[in-house]
Amino acid sequence: MFMGVGLLNTVLWLDSLDNYLDARYQWRLSSQLPSSWFEPSRRLAQIGSGQQAVPAQSMASTSGWTAPPPMDLRMQAKARGEYWPTLAVQKLSTGPQHVLFAGDSMMQGIAPLVMRELSQIHADWQMTDLSKQSTGLTSRKYFDWPLHIQQAIDTRGVTVVVIFLGPNDPRDMYLPTHRVSFGQPEWLENYAARVDEILAHAVQKQVRVIWVGLPSMRDDLLQRGAAVSNQVFHDRAQAFGTDYLSTEPLMGMVSLPFRKYLREVNGQQVNLRSEDGTHFTATGLHKIKQALVTHIEKALQP
């Protein structure tokens, strides 16, 4: 009986296990097993969630708010040494703020530092760290960032959302009916739509969003992914009138080869990146933390 129950649970949750392995280890059971094995699990997930992505245009029709046009799906490769610049267009209202930090393991390193410094400057501010490693926008069955951010905005009284993610995203996207290869127009369309879900909800609730761009990456695939993600983040921030904070001038430009050490003004070589070529040393974390705190503080100025 126990073996039978264990086997039944495995079958019913096989799709969830598949998505977890994909998000955590970039390996899928579905690439090794027949697709029919996953059908019971997928049907159960659809029945249990009842959650469907709502395009920004559909949300606009029910709220009276006009969404910006969808993203132009033509990729714009930056010339050598160029990058998507910072956008600082939003102002914060006076008074206490509730800042929400969302993202993957990169945000897990940044959020505590920013929260500590902002708490020292603004004792009456609230801050929530929702960052979770091995997450992103490509796989939403393992962790659905648009849904979690929307729920936090609706239930926690959030006034500012800071988002920093992306290295886990350059991989194939599994839609309800088919699989889409990374870099294809359909992949880009769905990726931009997930960014739009977050920004549309935040803008309608008058919540300020600061989307932090990615720096250069050592791995070739992650470097290509950073170029794609930064274009989407910048394009949609510009379309929705929200902020984009570029980390490329600080940590390495995506249009240039990866460099672990950067030369400071005084001529000394400073190690900013960890050994994996993705994350940051303590010095690198401090530089991003300072840039983010400065960005937020400037938004308070008239």
CATH label of the domain that carries residue 221: 3.40.50.1110
Structural domains of the chain, count: 2
Which pLDDT score, from 0 to 100, does residue 71 have? 83
Residues 10 and 142 in one domain: no
| Residues 29-41: tens digit of each pLDDT | 666 666 666 566 5
Can you tell me the mean pLDDT for 37-47? 53
Which pLDDT score, from 0 to 100, does residue 106 have? 97
Q: Is 56 within a domain? A: no
Residues 89 and 224 in one domain: yes
Helix boundaries (H) for 122-219: 145-156, 185-204
Which pLDDT score, from 0 to 100, does residue 37 have? 63
| Residues 278-294: tens digit of each pLDDT | 999 999 999 999 999 99
**Structural domain span for residue 6:** 1-51
Angle, nearest 10°, between helix axes 39-49 and 14-25? 90
When mean pLDDT is compared across 46-50, 89-93, 99-103, 120-124, the lowest value belongs to 46-50
- Count Cβ atoms within 10 A of the Cβ of residue 201 and give its class: 0-12 exposed, 13-18 middle, 19 or more buried: buried
Contact 163, 136 (CB under 8 A): no
- How far apart CA 16 and CA 87 sit, in angstroms, is 37
Q: How high does pLDDT run on average in the chain? A: 86
